[in-house]
Amino acid sequence: MINKTLCSAMLVVGLLASCAKSPTGRNQILLYGDEQMAEMGLQSFSAIKQEEKISKDPKLNAYVSCVADQIIKVLPDEWKSDWEVVVFDSEQVNAFALPGRKIGVYTAILNVAENQDQLAAIMGHEVGHVIAHHGAERVSQNSLAQAALQIGQVATQGSEYQAATMAVMGLGAQYGVLLPYSRTHESEADVIGLKYLMEAGFKPEASMQLWRNMNKLGGDRPMEILSTHPAPETRIENLANHIEKYKQEGVKALYQRPNCSR
Ligand SMILES: [Zn+2]
């Protein structure tokens, strides 16, 4: 509701904003379009490619691509092409998807996601963030905070507080697409991903096992997928509820059960 009011106010003052709805019907303020976000995503992806070792293991790459292809197949039409999937040889338990249609999977996460269904749950979740424009929403919130900060700057000018806040905000803008998501975004990505999982013919219950495995890990943060860690029970319960809800709504596999193996 606050979003909606703020959004109307921004339109009135002529700010170049777009008031959108997420796939689950949540109101969003987006100051950045897909093209701008794609550019940020591509930059981040190039940087990660420079920093991390890219896996050349043909079997692993085939496995990860196989799962990604099944998920991509069930995305809304405008999202069905041009994805790049890269496997990073790393002990970091991590995976991400970025605007600009880039997916990164770190080899260590394949020890946590025990099978194709659990890996699909990860991919569905990550791609869910992108399709729901969570990056754009987050960067927009950051920019709005920054604008508010500039308006309030006179009041705090010269103070240490101002310098510290500006530093945090500046950093936020720079790494906007890689910062942790909010709990709202995490839950929404879970629910969106779950639907893709079901439509692609994977077992939706695997998503619950995945989070059980994840929660056994503890430590080792930051990691996109656990960064804001909604309480594990809440997360698993939310998934269970939505599996039931989707089944009742008639969501089902649009394709044969995938057979991706490592
Ligand atoms: Zn996430």
Residues 50-102 pLDDT 10s: 999 999 999 999 999 999 999 999 999 999 999 999 999 999 888 999 999 99
Protein residues placing their CB within 5 Å of the ion ligand 1: 186, 189
For residue 166, being part of any structural domain is answered with no
Q: According to the model, what pLDDT value does residue 222 have?
A: 40
CA of 234 to the centre of ligand 1 (A): 15
Degrees, nearest 5: CA angle 57-38-214 = 50
Q: What's the gap in Å between 242 CA and the centre of ligand 1?
A: 17
Residue 258 lies in a domain: no
The b-or-e profile of 1-35 (16+ CB within 10 A means b, else e) is eeeeeebeebeeeeeebbeeebeeeeebbbbbeee
Give the residue ranges of DSSP H helices in the chain. 2-12, 34-51, 58-73, 116-131, 134-151, 153-156, 160-174, 183-199, 206-217, 232-248
Q: Answer whether residue 25 is part of any domain.
A: no
Residue 190 belongs to some domain of the structure: yes
Looking at the domain assignment, is residue 186 inside a domain? yes
Residue 88, domain member (yes or no): yes
- Domain-located, residue 262: no
pLDDT in tens, 199-247: 999 999 999 999 889 888 865 544 555 556 667 788 899 999 999 999 9
Report the separation in Å between the CA atom of 125 and the middle of ligand 1, taken as the mean of its atom positions.
6
- Ligand 1: centre distance to CA 150 (Å): 30
Expressed as residue numbers, the domain containing 99 is 38-133+180-248
8 belongs to a structural domain? no
User: What is the total count of domains within the chain?
Assistant: 1
Joined together, the tokens standing for residue 125 give 């979740």
At 104, phi and psi to the nearest 5?
-120, 130
> Counting Cβ atoms within 10 Å, is residue 141 exposed (0-12), middle (13-18) or buried (19+)?
middle
Measured in Å, residue 177 CA sits from the centre of ligand 1 at 12
